[in-house]
Amino acid sequence: MSSARAQANHKLYLAKIQLSSWRQALAAEDIPATTLTQAFLPAVREHLLAAYGWFLLHVSGCEAASGWPPRGCAELPGVVAGKAVAGEIREFQQLENDGWLGALLREDEESTVAAPTPGNLARSIPGSQDCELVQHWVNELEALFDRMSDSLEEY
């Protein structure tokens, strides 16, 4: 297994740990759900983005130029002249533009955090930014990693 794939697996594992902790904290009902979302969502998302970036490097056969994984296909090095873009990368590009992966990549805290409620420092996060959405991202990444790894092993 390549180092990039190992990094992708590790980041996905860390995201799952944080998601589990988030669910436990929600179940305890000691802290408002909005505040827990503010605490966990950005951290879990960063692990998922890193997992995706490392997997992109694994699939493309590229190295991390800066020591950090890319945050999308646009950050991968260009394809050598005369070589076709790998089918996996084309699929990633499509998912980044139109699919669940695009939602993961486009989320940022500034765009999802609303104004504070009077008398409360916690800010509400509109939409369905919760554990279930993050669980969906985790499930989709896992399925993608498994399917594409099987495909790459055939080469």
Token pair, residue 19, equals 């998601």
pLDDT of residue 87: 85
pLDDT of residue 40: 94
pLDDT of residue 64: 79
Return the higher-pLDDT residue of 97 and 61. Answer: 97
Among the listed residues 30, 19, 25, 39, the one whose alpha carbon sits nearest the alpha carbon of residue 123 = 39
- What CA–CA distance (Å, rounded) separates 115 from 126? 10
Q: Any bridge partners for residue 123, and if so which? A: 116
Query: Half-sphere exposure of 57 toward its Cβ, with a 13 Å CA cutoff?
Result: 24
- Select, from the ranges 47-51, 71-75, 77-81, 132-136, the one with the highest average predicted confidence (pLDDT): 47-51
- The domain in which residue 68 lies consists of 3-153
Mean pLDDT taken over the chain = 83
CA 72 to chain centre: 10
What's the pLDDT tens digit per position in 78-113?
777 778 788 889 999 999 998 899 989 987 544 344
Domain count along the chain: 1
Q: Looking at the predicted structure, is the pLDDT value of residue 122 above 70?
A: no
Q: Looking at the predicted structure, is the pLDDT value of residue 2 above 80?
A: no
What's the pLDDT tens digit per position in 9-47?
999 999 999 999 999 999 999 999 999 999 999 999 999
109-118 CB burial, b ≥16 within 10 A, e <16: eeebbeeeee
